[in-house]
Structure 1
Amino acid sequence: MALRGDDFIGAGYGPGNDAELWLLKGEAKSNIVLGKTTVSNARKVLNRDNGRCTPDSLLFVANRLLESPDDEDVELGRAIRDEVGLKALRADRIDHMLFTMSGNAPPAALKEDLNGAGNNRDQFVVNLRIEDHQEFIKETFEEAENLGDD
């Protein structure tokens, strides 16, 4: 099921004795040649909705956690569901991550984007260089099609 605007979400609690909810909103991009346009578009998606995760995405994650037999997962699911209703989570508790895969070395645009991303939240950037990018993508989709055939 698509998360409708959020490529990936991380959820947990703050460090130490901090019991407040903390989220990671992530955007993933893959391109044989990663360039400035792709990076800029990804940043726009991260900043959409004031940098918040979409309610649909959060409820999807919350519902999966609420189905868990683990009490800590259920507690986290409730905290996420409450966040959807209250929108009380401060911007500095919603970190952003841009994850990219490309056939080329990380472009300068990634560093420029990170430097210009703002300081009201933690920002992370990861680039995974895959020299045979197109072959990797092809094989990945072929394997995904075969899931469950065993």
Structure 2
Amino acid sequence: MKHINIIKILGVVFLFIFLGLQYNIVEAKRLPPQEVEPVIYNGVKYTATHEKMGYVEAWDIKTGKKLWEKKVYDVKIDPHMEADVQWVFITNLSIKDGKLIVVNEKGDRYEIDIESTDTSQTDSNTVSKNNSWILSAIFVILLFIGGYLSYKLLKKKR
């Protein structure tokens, strides 16, 4: 009887470990990017489109005509990884000192001179947000601790 309970507990622990390791597979499918509020400045509406990653557009409010489109940054896709987890979309647009400030999902910050459309990167977030392996390792460790404590608790009751 004791062996059957231990086998059941270990089975449950390994099931949770297996499910925890599936986290990386589930994580590979990203949620849609958040909508970015357009910015209006001096009769021009600035938008970030998700159809073209890393692009900003300027539109004349009166005529509805596109004034310009600017590629702010490149996203390099590693063909050995799923593409969607590598996508980096713009998350915020704002105006400061006559410059369009663009921030992306990685926290990188760019400035676009509204007159010349020259772009410069002002801040870069060098810490990668892809730390899923850490979460998986913590999950597995917690499962082992939980399994061990369950085993000790059942052993004590006998």
Shared fold, TM over 0.5: no
Q: Which has the higher contact order (CA 8 A, sep 6+)?
A: 1
Question: Which interval holds the TM-score relative to the shorter structure?
Answer: under 0.3
Question: Higher helix proportion, which one?
Answer: 1
Structure-1-length-normalised TM-score: 0.21
Structure-2-length-normalised TM-score: 0.21
Q: Which has the larger radius of gyration?
A: 2
Question: Higher strand proportion, which one?
Answer: 2
